[in-house]
Amino acid sequence: MKNKTLALIAIGLIAATSLTSCLVKADYTTAPAYNNNTYYNVYDEEFNTDDPGWSFTDSRDSAYGDVAQGTYELVNYSRTRGQLVAVNTGANMQYDFSVQTKMQSNNTMAMVFGASSADNGYALYIDNQGYFALYNEGSAYYAPNTVIDWTFNNTIIKGGWNNVQIVQYGNYWIGYINGTQVFKIPSQVLYGSQCGFKVLPGTTGYADYLEVKW
């Protein structure tokens, strides 16, 4: 997966200033796979309406995002640039939190968390070959870097819907795919509460919901 790692870093450098940010609030409730701690606040998005706007069109990169019938579609026809879309969830990510979604793509898609207007946060990627990876997405001032390199895991449904979750519990980040723990690492510094999605070039991806608890 070395080529994909290098491509992700290059794409991140190109797209470091292309973060799309908006405020969205909707109602969705789901039971996270990891629930050993108590959450007092919930941000839930089920993509029934675009309020006030996940949708966008980027004619330069032949990319767009669209909300329809409970699904968020993120399409990127570009050959060189990734597309990252994140919204302000209002979450306090300095303490315990959970970010969860269900997504699928025809190539490589990520759940993004901990982003801000000046920082692209972190992205938990899944591709359609059964691999996952975790990246610090960088910013306009510093390059992306690998936190967990591409790792095969047979719990991933290739090309299908996958439930993805990241939990901060104490001083650790714990990653789950389809209810199975796939990593546990020391927690990293986060600079914002924006969460969302990213797709690599040549990817059409879909998300069924986005839930943040803290």
What is the residue extent of each domain of the chain? 2-213
| Fold of the domain built from segment(s) 2-213 | Jelly Rolls (2.60.120)
**How far apart, in whole angstroms, are the C-alpha atoms of residue 12 and residue 138?**
7
**How far apart, in whole angstroms, are the C-alpha atoms of residue 64 and residue 49?**
16
pLDDT (tens digit per residue) in 104-154: 999 999 999 999 999 999 999 999 999 999 999 999 888 999 999 999 999
**How far apart, in whole angstroms, are the C-alpha atoms of residue 191 and residue 113?**
10
| b/e sequence 178-192, b meaning 16+ C-beta within 10 Å | beeebbeeeeeebeb
Contact 22, 195 (CB under 8 A): no
Residue 85: in which H helix or E strand, if any? strand 83-88
pLDDT (tens digit per residue) in 163-205: 999 999 999 999 999 999 999 999 999 999 999 999 999 999 9
